[in-house]
Amino acid sequence: MIIGISNKLRAAFIKDKSYRDTAVNKNWWQIILVTSLGVTALVWGVRELKWLQSWELKAYDQMLRSRPAEPPDSRILLVTVTEEDLAKKGWNLADDTINRLLTKLASYQPRVIALNLYRPEQTNLGAGLENPTNIISACLSSSMGRSEVPPPPNFPPENIGYNDVISDIEEDQVVRRALVFSEANDSKCATQFSIAALAAITYLEQTGIHVDFEKHQFHLGKTAFPILTPNSGSYKGVDAKGYQILLNYRHPNHLAPTFTLTEVLNNQVNPNLVKDRLVIIGTTASSIHPGLYTPYSAAKGQPTRTPSVFIHTQIASQLLSTVLDGRPLIWYWPDWAELVWLWAWSLVGSILAWRLKHPLLVVVVLGIALTGLVIICAGLFLDAGWIPLIPPALTLVMSGVSVIIYRTYRTQQQTKVIMLQVEKQQEVIEQLNILLNEATAIADTTAFYDQHSHHDSVVVTPRKKADDLLLGGRYSISSVLGAGGFGRTYLAQDTQRPGNPTCVVKKLMPARKDTKFLQVARRLFITEAEILESLGQHQQIPALLAYFEVNEEFYLVEQYIAGHTLYEELPPVTGLQSEAFVIEMLKGVLEVLAFVHEHRVIHRDVKPTNIIRSAEDNRLVLIDFGAVKLMQPPTDQKTELATVAIGTRGYAPPEQFAGHPRLASDIYAVGMMGIQALTGILPQELPPDPETGNVMWRSHATVSEELALILDKMVRYHFSDRYQSAATVLQDLNRLSSLIQTSSIS
């Protein structure tokens, strides 16, 4: 039974927007949530397919290059074999040449010497050295198609390290990772240690720091080195075999003190620069090895390829400085944290696009948000934190664009609906006009007016039954805001919403009660209410909470806007207003009119008493759209016309009184309000020019020529001579405001 009654009520004319308000708010969050989750899932899926890895690695390289340079590592000394060294005396890196170099360096008492040279034939390497235990040599397991090179036969296995490095072959062949330890193999180069790692460990062991291995990390003393996984950082499915770490590069120009082989052999090196150092020897000659790509290959002033000796020096330096100086390793988030990071930026993009609405403003703010994202990522990278940059940037932009597209589509659909409603409204107005012009209508209207001529003094008196006090079984009337022949406006409380919020109830009584007139009036009321319901989404228009019919009387329930009407701010209530006030007032009203006119809706009754200055945020709110007044009788002041010519004398232009209102008609009314503020004269009291019909007002005001020209164009007698859109007036007013600000600054 209760369900049946409820269904009947829903089928009636009551359409309660208060229920839909909650649904709409939820819908907003649903749209934002669905958009952000959908975009995040899409970007995450694309990322898992490795389609973004190249971009992310390039962003990583750029952040690496953008860091301020650190001081060179003073624990390391580099000795390079250059093309000049090879050409000077015909050296071909024979054992005796290398042995002379090792003997010279060993005499300076270095802590460790790492010989990063390998040759197919090296039978007598290190011969003649008294203590070769602190010398580490290299072998080559495999490297980009090159043949394997075994270690020197006269070197103990524990003093051998492999020279191999790994690069991101699938992407750009850039070396970003260091393979410090690997699994044992059956090749000739069977060592598990890279030459850089072995050199650093040997150096540290002389200070009592030893290496210890675990499954997912290794330790040097108390310092833990987490090893890379296939999905570490922005890598997806990378080959992470062995113990790999991300290379935390020093700037190539500030790596370590460097000398050439010739300079060492010619005694041009201070022995104090060698003592207790880790000395790394390697060739930089491209004729021996072309070099490798690094993140600095794209840097200005840097060579495209870097000799491998510099990369091994980078690895050794990273291990030493991390253990001894606390220099941070490159760190990154787990997958779940990166997923949340992406979603957060997707939410930011969705919310910004939803709240800001204007596409150009959204683009600007999204640009600012992108800049903020870059700053955050770059700032964390200064502390060695590698967090995603490209994926969240994509989710931010894609979510914002998606919401803009959705809003644009929804606005277009809404505009189509409103325009259809406006067309229906025009048809109803024509029918209503025919009825109002019938001979019998005059008698009916007169009788109705006589019957209700004293309604101005009506007050609400309590009835015996409490339910009778609730309009529509819901709204408790508390006071009368206004009353007249057209109906009444009440202040009421909504008893079915938490806190019984205040709302405004407008009671509209048709001019006649015959069936034919009521049918047309009802159609007009419903059409007008549907238009108001759509327009009420704008913050400068009261939301329509409900509309219904009771006993052949129509009711609109609207959001209550606390504040005062603009009439209280204009002459004759106040003194003359300044140009600045007038400009801001015009802009405030025109902003909402631009929205209304965008939907091809004409307000028809713009005037100071229909504009409320909100006490909450000082915005101007437009109320009392005029089409519904067609079904009401005229008032005794004769300022409201009960025909198609709705409007208030002085504010309504000629074409509106002729029954043909246009968008420019509302602009005329706003212009007359501006003139009233400047002259202190009511619009209907200003004389027209006998030749043009234009209002003559300039002699009564002190105003700049620029503002006067704008007002003149707003109130031209013929609508075709006026501004044709509120947006165009706003452009001129904004330009005038900019000129005023510029002149005041200068």
Binding site members? 507
Closest by CA to 246, choosing from 230, 231, 234, 228, is 228
Omega of the bond prior to 68 within 30 degrees of 0, cis? no
Contacting residues for 380 by C-beta, under 8 A, at least 6 apart: 386, 387
Length of the chain: 746
Identify the burial level of 656 via C-beta atoms within 10 angstroms of its C-beta, where 0-12 means exposed, 13-18 middle and 19 or more buried: buried
Query: How far from chain centre, in Å, is Cα 621?
Result: 28
Residues at the annotated binding site for ATP? Answer: 507
Residue 131's φ and ψ, nearest 5 degrees, are: -135, 85
Helix axes 359-381, 335-356, angle to 10 degrees: 150
CA distance 78 to 284: 11
Largest CA distance in the chain: 132
CA distance 73 to 193: 22
Query: How far from chain centre, in Å, is Cα 181?
Result: 44
Sequence-ordered alpha helix ranges (H) in 437-498: 439-452
Assigned token pair, 719: 């609508």
Position of tokens 């929804």? Answer: 410
Residue 245's φ and ψ, nearest 5 degrees, are: -130, 155
Q: Tell me the residue type at 513.
A: K
Find the helix or strand (DSSP H, E) in which 404 lies: helix 390-436
Rg (CA), the chain: 42
**SS3 call for 175:** coil
**SS3 call for 102:** helix
Query: How far from chain centre, in Å, is Cα 47?
Result: 21
Position of tokens 């015009």? Answer: 586
Pair 138, 154: CB distance under 8 Å: no
Sign of CA dihedral 440, 445, 448, 449: negative
Find the helix or strand (DSSP H, E) in which 597 lies: helix 579-598
For 652-696, the three-class secondary structure string (H helix, E strand, C coil) is CCHHHHCCCCCHHHHHHHHHHHHHHHHHCCCHHHCCECCCCCCEC
Q: Distance between terminal CA atoms of the chain? A: 76
Residue 91's φ and ψ, nearest 5 degrees, are: -60, 140
CA distance 330 to 332: 7
CA distance 163 to 309: 9
Neighbours of 242 (CB within 10 A): 15
Pair 237, 231: CB distance under 8 Å: yes
- Of 73, 444, 605, 666, the active-site residue reads 605
- Answer left, alpha or beta for residue 278, where phi above 0 means left and psi between -120 and 50 means alpha: beta
Residue 278's φ and ψ, nearest 5 degrees, are: -90, 110
Q: Does 335 qualify as catalytic in the annotation?
A: no
Query: Among all residues, which ones are annotated catalytic?
Result: 605
